[in-house]
Amino acid sequence: MSADIVFSLHRFSIAFGNMKVVDNLSLDIRRGETLALVGESGSGKSVSALGAMGLLPASARVSGERRLSGTDLSTLTATKWQGIRGNQVGFIFQEPMTSLNPLHTIAKQIGETLRLHQGLTGRAARERVRELLVQVKLPRPDELLDTWPHQLSGGQRQRVMIAMAIANRPRLLIADEPTTALDVTVQQDILALLAELRETHGMAMLFITHDLNLVRRHADRVCVLYRGQVQETGPVSEVFNHPQSDYTRTLLAAEPEGRPAHLVPSAPALLETRQLEVAFARPKRLFSRRRPPFVAVHPLDLHLQRGETLGIVGESGSGKTTLAMAILRLTGSTGEITFAGDRIDHLKGDHLRKRRGDFQIVFQDPFGSLSPRMPVADIVSEGLRFHQPELGSDDILRRVTRALQEVGLPADCSARYPHEFSGGQRQRIAIARALILEPQLLVLDEPTSALDRTVQKQLVELLRDVQARRGLSYLFISHDLAVVRAMAHRVMVLKDGAVVEQGDCEQVLHSPRSGYTQALVDAAGLSG
Amino acid sequence: MLWRFRSGLSPITRRRIAVFRGNRRARWSLWLFALLFAISLGAEFIANDKPIVMQYQDRWYAPMLVDYPETEFGGFLPTTADYRDDFVHDEIASNGWMLWPPIPFSYDTLDRNLSHPAPSPPTGRHWLGTDDQGRDVLARVIYGFRLSVVFALVLTAGSLVLGVVVGGIQGYFGGKVDLIGQRFTEIWSGLPVLFLLIILASLVEPNLWWLLGIMLLFSWLGLVDIVRAEFLRARNLEYVRAARALGLPSHLIMWRHVLPNAMVATLTFIPFLFTGAITTLTALDFLGFGLPPGSPSLGELVAQGKNNLQAPWLGITAFITLSLMLSLLVFIGEGLRDAFDPRHILAPMQPDTETSMAPLTKEPADER
């Protein structure tokens, strides 16, 4: 049995200075097996993999036993390491946009590892690269050999990365969040490909992810990490059905659940658009006719009642955010937008600015949406100070405190700066900034995508609470159907800027009519 | 306009100050430069041809502030008293006393009682000697230092305002505004500044304000590109978009959200703008197209040093003064640049900066 073990760690620890980031990690992976390393951001998943392969900066102190098919990795010299990395161990990283060198063609990119480890050059290398491209199921392999990375889509680049990783038939494949940056439908294809390659090559795979759905479907065994400590290790079915540790239980229960509150059927309409279209002019080339404009959102009609949540679903590039920006009048558009009975598509300058308090937005990135130079009270009260300049500083402070309380933050945080808060707390600050103006419509642009599952769940609950209390309408933009189901009354599915399907949320997700929606639902792994 | 709940510095600013203070060379340069500038600001009290205070026939006089006619001290002419004149000097000395500045010469005082023909070498009377017109070199250096620094300060401040406004408007609004603005600055920056100044010198009597005005017309161009690029980048940051969604007017967004970002790149540029201004002024004076004749100018001292190679104290003084001033400014500029460089966080810190670093090393507050 022990001969079967490809990779093992025993009492493995990593520390930066005084901070232990991985503590006493023990695991082993057998031939043809996938072990998933699961945990929230900062739990030490990636650091463990990098540390085991000696890829951390010198300031990291790595201790413990690590073995690759019997070789003790902790005593290797630099030259020995080079023979192992990329040869016996293949890596796939998260970000396909930056992990390929933009100045090398695909053939050169993959050929490099072949030349280094197998001494293949010229025609032989090219032939082998072509073979690999076929293996990772890239279309038109002959043409792809001479393309540059920027000509490929994210999914295609990730396939190239995989081809590089398996080029030397490694025994161990380390996949560090290989699909996080990809659209959900592409995710499934990539993972299926990885599973197939693992079978045919008999590789062991270390699969690092934060997404439990993927673990459930694609891993054999799972190891749950929390703050550098192993919480639980075991076969997937066992861990998922009978979790032993408290943390695993919280993680498993962290799927957003529940449904939004029922709608008042006769609620008046808050927002209506008619033939709303967003098009961007393309640059004119010298001596040639201007190409037709790029239509980001095809003409669409949309309506939203008071107290209702409309989920807007689609993959990246489908025009979700552009649509929201057009409705908020932050991007130019054509067509009618009626908000609370008034046409707002013709408003300009001061009239528009006065109206902006009624429709607010919360952005995706909790790190980028708060000015790092302002204390929280300034950030939250900024809109209030502009829209109601007659308020005294006592009134403002009281309103800030109330807004912070409403989003579940202690009042004493108002004098602190954004960097002192976690991602979820920052998102709450962003919500408080929007709520203090007492808007009627809140656009939520992927508000939970950058957060861990457990934090997501809390935020979803908060948003539903606020909606019930204030009768707010939400425009909820997301690619994550699990969150959408927990938030939205109705959904609208967008693809390439056009509506594919819309209707009652439960109905659309349960029995989608279009193939595209079906693919999204399948990919999200929604059960029932 | 800056309305804040917590007065004091933001953590970013505190970190930058800590980094700057951690750089010993920059810190000492800043202190030394500040000291020299402070001294030169009080140049009238250090080098002057009038006493600071005096008593004459039991009455108090402050000749530095008030012009007294010579008749006041028993003279015959109703002109302003010349306190270095032997007659006036003796008259006052016998009927009271005078408190002289340490250097009893102003920058334009001609010393007629030289022991050697001008330029005379350093003596106890003239510590750095005199120039070829018999004026005290040390007095001229002190006044010239002040003039150069003030000129550079005003020029830098003016360029900063113009450059930030123009660059900010171009970058923030983009599109046609940016296109037209960029073409204009490109053409404008193609004009030859030095030739314009030389032509001007033949048309009008150039004084400090003329020079300042002309140089201001061109010196802001260097800043525009930096500020514009920063504004272009920052206008798509999410918190800037959030501010737009809040309904804030453009000028407030630019002032509160975009400008602080752009200031980082701009501030690191300032010390070099400053040294550039000093160098240009010196060069113009050296060529004789700068300040009007008789002004205390370092460039003119360089020119004198070149014309009087037999009097090396002129050239050496000019060289040491200029190189000291410019080196100090460059060291300060380097310190500023490093302080604003986000990659410099990991630089070894002095232990005394630990208290100001505390908020940064604090663990982010936990969610659950």
Q: Hey, are the CB atoms on B3 and A378 less than 8 Å from each other?
A: yes
The DSSP code sequence of A237-299 is HHHHHS--SHHHHHHHTTS--S-PPPPPTTPPEEEEEEEEEEEEPPPPPTTSPPPPPEEEEEE
pLDDT, one tens digit per residue, over A289-337 is: 777 888 888 898 988 988 899 999 888 778 888 899 899 888 888 888 8
The single residue listed with the structure tokens 């510590």 is B127
Cα radius of gyration rounded to whole Å, chain A? 26
Of B39, B74, B99, the residue that ends a domain is: B99
What are the structure tokens assigned to A236, written together? Answer: 């997937």
Q: CB of A174 within 8 Å of any CB in chain B?
A: no
pLDDT in tens, A361-394: 998 887 788 888 788 888 898 888 888 888 888 8
Q: What average pLDDT score do residues B286-290 get? A: 84
Do residues A413 and A370 touch, judged by C-beta distance below 8 A?
A: no
Asked whether residue B158 falls in the same domain as residue B291, the answer is yes
pLDDT at B190 over 70: yes
pLDDT digits (tens, 9 = 90+) for B6-34: 446 677 778 788 888 888 899 999 999 99
Instruction: In whole angstroms, give the CA distance from residue A224 to residue A81.
Output: 28
> How much is the pLDDT for B202?
81
With a CB-CB cutoff of 8 Å, which residues 304-363 of chain B face chain A? 359-360, 362
User: Residue B167: its pLDDT value, please?
Assistant: 92
Q: Are B200 and B319 within one domain? A: yes
Given this model, what pLDDT does residue A290 score? 73
Q: Is the ipTM of this structure higher than 0.90?
A: no
Domain count, chain B: 2
Most confident of A387-401, B114-128, B350-364: A387-401
* Structural domain range at position B149: 137-343
Looking at residue A3, its pLDDT comes to 58
Kindly state the percentage of chain A with pLDDT values over 70.
98
Task: Test A360 with B4 for CB contact under 8 angstroms.
Answer: no
Q: What is the mean pLDDT of chain A?
A: 85
Long-range contacts of A96-100 (CB under 8 A, 24+ apart): A96/A154, A96/A155, A96/A157, A96/A158, A96/A161, A96/A181, A96/A182, A97/A154, A97/A157, A97/A181, A99/A157, A99/A161, A100/A149, A100/A157, A100/A160, A100/A161
Sign of dihedral through CA atoms A374, A377, A379, A385? Answer: negative
**pLDDT (average), residues A78-89:** 83
Q: What is the DSSP letter of B254?
A: I
| Residues B206-247 pLDDT 10s | 788 888 888 888 888 888 988 999 898 888 888 888 888 888
In a domain, B199, yes or no: yes
**Using CA of residue A106, residue A110, residue A115, residue A118, what is the dihedral sign?**
negative
In a domain, B109, yes or no: no
- Residue of B6, B12, B237 lying closest to A368 (CB–CB): B237
Do B90 and B154 lie in a common domain?
Answer: no
Tokens matching residue B254: 């630019």
Interface test with A, best of B176, B246, B250, B263 (most A CBs within 10 A): B246
Q: Is B38 on the interface with A (CB under 8 A)?
A: no
pLDDT at position B357 over 60: no
Instruction: Report yes or no on B194 lying in a domain.
Output: yes
Nearest CA in chain A to B10: A373
Give the architecture (CATH level 2) of A5-101+170-253: 3-Layer(aba) Sandwich (3.40)
pTM: 0.74
Is residue B356 scored above 60 in pLDDT?
no
Structure tokens at A262: 């029922």
Residue-wise pLDDT for B165-187, tens only, equals: 999 999 998 888 999 999 999 99
| Residue in the block written with tokens 């995508």 | A449
Average pLDDT over residues A152-173: 86
B34 part of a folded domain: no
Q: Which residue has the tokens 């229960």?
A: A253
Question: Which of chain B's residues have a Cβ under 8 Å away from the Cβ of A373?
Answer: 10, 12, 260
The larger pLDDT score, comparing residue B114 to residue B336, is at B336
Residue B164 near residue B259 (C-beta atoms within 8 A)? yes
What DSSP element (H or E) covers A231?
A: strand A229-235
Locate A70 and state its tokens: 């019997």
Instruction: Tell me: pLDDT of B368 over 70.
Output: no
Per residue in A271-288, pLDDT (tens digit) is: 888 888 888 887 777 777
- CB < 8 Å from B in window 355-394 of A: 355-357, 359-361, 363-365, 368-375, 377-378, 382-383, 385-387, 393
Residue A198 has phi, psi (to 5 degrees) of -60, -45
User: How far apart (Å, rounded) are the C-alpha atoms in residues A451 and A458?
Assistant: 10
Looking up residue B312, the CATH number of its domain turns out to be 1.10.3720.10
Instruction: Measure in Å the smallest separation between the Cα of A376 and chain B Cα atoms.
Output: 9
Instruction: Assess whether B174 and B236 both reside in one domain.
Output: yes
pLDDT on residue B364: 39
pLDDT digits (tens, 9 = 90+) for A340-369: 888 888 888 888 888 888 999 998 887 788
Indicate the residue of A354, A361, A419 with minimum beta-carbon distance to B245: A361
Q: Where are the domains of chain A?
A: 5-101+170-253, 366-438
DSSP state of A110: H
B104 occurs within a structural domain: no
User: Do B239 and A330 lie within an 8 Å CB cutoff?
Assistant: no
pLDDT at B71: 81
Q: Which two tokens stand for residue A366?
A: 């909790």
Are the Cβ atoms of B10 and A374 closer than 8 angstroms? yes
- In this structure, the number of other CB atoms found within 10 A of the CB of residue A351 comes to 10
Q: Which two tokens stand for residue A207?
A: 């699969």
What is the maximum span of chain B, computed from C-alpha positions, in angstroms? 92
Q: Is residue B87 domain-shared with residue B157, that is, in the same domain?
A: no
DSSP tag of B54: E
